Structure 1
Amino acid sequence: MPQASAATDGEQTSVQLPAMEDCRILGVYSMVRQTQIGQGTTSRGHDQKTYWFVRRSPEGEYFVQALNANSIPSGPVAPVTRGEFLAAYQPQSGYYEKRCLPFIESLKKKIAQADRLLAEGDLDAAEKEFIKALLLDEKHPKANIALGNISLQKGDGKKLAAALRRIFDIDVLFTEQERHLFNEFAISLRKEQKFAEAVAFYEKALARNDTDENLHFNIARAKAEAGDPAGAMGHLERALALRPDFAHAQRFLSGLRAGEPDRDDALPLPDITASIDHIP
């Protein structure tokens, strides 16, 4: 199940998220917070109103996501208790249908068009459509990763560097919910021998979830190919501590210890992009 971070007494805690498609859309709600402007005798209160896209899970849990400047739900999804929701959030009748949906539908069309162009191999046209999508939602996970992949395929180091800077600023990309996106991009980076970038991706993901044996396996591959077998072995040992029957990690670790990480008489190591239970 996907995870999110929620603040509790100033600390970040991991919170389980349901599948968002299973949640009921409640619409847009506003929240008003008072902030102080100025100092001393000139200080005065100011009401700050923010807008939130709200869903409710089948179990009755509430989840909120901020709207960006284009009224599109963007960024991390956060849980709130029923008491917090009822006390702090006010419904905005018709806001979702009138102001959010037109932009959301436009964004979906741009992403779909970009995907079609990408499937046809037209990288330049696909790139333009993904850029249009980012004008609507600059934090859109798929559009940002796709632009990074396009820059990687085109060998455009300048655009790749810019894409990486954007991606690393989007924390929601490194959640379990978007794991397949950053994982596949990191694999592409490794295959193109961008080892430092691939390792950085996995390290950021592991900072959010250190108990994913597959992430430890994948960063081990990047470290080994970068010439850091000791670092790779450390992550493989961690993966096996989490899952002792992880056969691919066992074989990889044995090969590294023997100085033969990828023997010709063994099956090639897989790139793990999903749960190990679903690897064919």
Structure 2
Amino acid sequence: MDDLNQVLGVFSKNTKEKTGAGTTLQKSEHKTYYYVTRTGVDQYHVQPLNERFIPSGLVTTLTKRQFLTSFSPEIDYYERKTLPALKSLNAKILKGEDLFAKGELDDAEQSFARALLIDPANPKANLGMGSVLCSKQNYTKLSKIVNKLLKNDSVFLEAQRQEFNLFAISLRKQSLFEESINFYKKAIELNQEDENLHFNIARSYFDAGQSNEALNHIDKALVIQPDLEWAHKFKTYILKKTKK
């Protein structure tokens, strides 16, 4: 992937499937997890996570609309699954780099093979200088991706919150209220004390016809910032429209 890509984290996509026919027809829903980055031209690259929770396989490029209407952020999944797996992978990478620098090529190859998931049960297969260098090159690419994925500090989380808020605003303007609410919820998970997020999600709830939820978040915004003028005005407007 391009080094200029912005890491957005882990997202999921639900796929509905049908099996059988007539009386034997069964419906099921399958959730797939993806690692997502975005380029400066607002293209979104999605790559599925493998059984080890690491990005692997075909990278698909989507437009902003395709991405926002099909994928949902998975903050908890990233924290519980992908991040620990990446830390373990990073440890193998660092060990391989250290061994390679010391000239211990066989051991370095084993570490690279484990990191790259190359026949972990038989890491010494087909070894040799060419094989080591090939793995070293692949490892270098992998190392760059892992370093970006491990950027999970407060700066990254704040950037995610801002992205989710912008995504939600864009979706609300397209009258995609359910999708908008979903992104606002994820943004609030990252910062429950942001009065503007509560105000914004209230607007989406109101537009979706869920006045009670809208009032609930307006009240939360006012607890955080009691003199939030537009929140007071919006609450008055909702109460007038619903005659509460």
Q: Per residue, is there more helix in 1 or in 2? A: 2
TM-score, scaled relative to structure 1: 0.41
TM-score, scaled relative to structure 2: 0.46
